[in-house]
Chains A and B, each alone.
Chain A
Amino acid sequence: MGLEHALGDSFLTTKLEAAINWCRKNSLFPMPMGISCCAIEMMAFAGPKFDVSRFGSEVFRFSPRQSDVMIVAGTTTYKMAKVVRKIYDQMPDPKWVIAMGACTSSGGMYRTYSVVQGIDLFLPVDVYVAGCPPRPDNLIHALMVLQEKVSRGESRGSSTAIMGDFTTNKPQPLPVVAG
């Protein structure tokens, strides 16, 4: 490119959308929606041993208004579903959801009247994590998969196009299964 040649090695040219997505991907603030036992593994994922801060995601925000990704960790009952949805609605765009564990993804072993058979019945989920509960490594893998989605500018939940292609109407990206 002519511009890079003219400016020399001290400059780097990119698209604005790519730069912003790179920033977003490396500073994902999780909202810990720790409803049951998966939350213990989520704490290990945030703690010093597994240390998610290596991936730029160490700032757990207990306020939905300051967070980017909601990690739903635990069995979601019908009574709790309203609360989860309300918190999700309070998060600013763009936003992502990780469904952590078997219960959250599909109801898991709770095939009963009181448990929602998968949070994708009322939330747009970006990454599903297998396991009961998933190991913290598995959740880190889910976060890395999510980072790839973020760098591509994809989100299932954000109502507006995130960054970039405003002209063409891209189809909604499919959710990814990690682990």
Chain B
Amino acid sequence: MNEQVVQKLSARFGEQTFETSEFRGELTVVVPKEKIVEVCRFLKEDVDLQFDLLADLCGIDMYTPMKRFGVIYNLYSLKNKHRIRLKTFTEEEDPKVPTVTSVWRTANWHEREAYDMFGILFEGHPDLRRMYLPDEFEYFPLRKDFPLMGIPGSLPLPKK
């Protein structure tokens, strides 16, 4: 099944080869962020693949200047009972990734969570607000440079 996915991808996006790796039968494809929506839509709508479930979408902080932030998409095909993983990276300055809400509606809240924790801006997202933290909070707590105990005074307490 993994070979079929790689084959289909290289047939469709022939001019551009994606970096792929396989570990214990799990396929990971690294996709440039400009192509991510197109690749996702292809994987979902292709009749043989049908990756119709976005099982999870999460952010990652690599803590390197060029590939500072990443977004990881875990896809599942209900028809083939098969999982693959997509990865895309973005730079530290202006961390933008196009949204995949147009492909899977469920990406809406997942992307909001990744924005809340990492500050990754999903371009074209219909409702990019904070998810867990208060609206007035200014930091992104899962970034590597955020201290564990937070920044003093950033979360005000009610008066005693």
Contacts and interface: CB of A to CB of B under 8 A. Distances in A.
Question: Do A and B share a complex?
Answer: yes
Interface of A: 78-79, 81-82, 85-86, 111-114, 116, 121-124
Interface residues of B, number: 16
Interface string B107-144: 00000000000000000000000001110000001000
B150 interface: yes
List of 5 A-B pairs having minimum Cβ-Cβ separation, nearest first? A113-B150, A85-B158, A78-B155, A122-B157, A122-B158
A112 B149 contact: yes
Contacts of A79: 132-134, 155
Contact of A121 (B132, B146, B147, B157): B157
Contacts of A111: 148-149
A112 B150 CA distance: 7
B159 interface: yes
A43 B148 CA distance: 33
A114 B133 contact: yes
Nearest to B139: A113
A113 B141 contact: yes
A81 B148 CA distance: 19
A113 B156 CA distance: 12
Given A78-B134, A112-B149, A122 B160 contact: yes
28 contacts: A78-B134, A78-B155, A78-B157, A79-B132, A79-B133, A79-B134, A81-B158, A82-B158, A85-B158, A86-B158, A111-B148, A111-B149, A112-B149, A112-B150, A113-B146, A113-B147, A113-B148, A113-B149, A113-B150, A113-B151, A114-B133, A114-B150, A121-B157, A121-B160, A122-B157, A122-B158, A122-B160, A124-B160
Given A113-B141, A114-B133, A114-B141, A81 B157 contact: yes
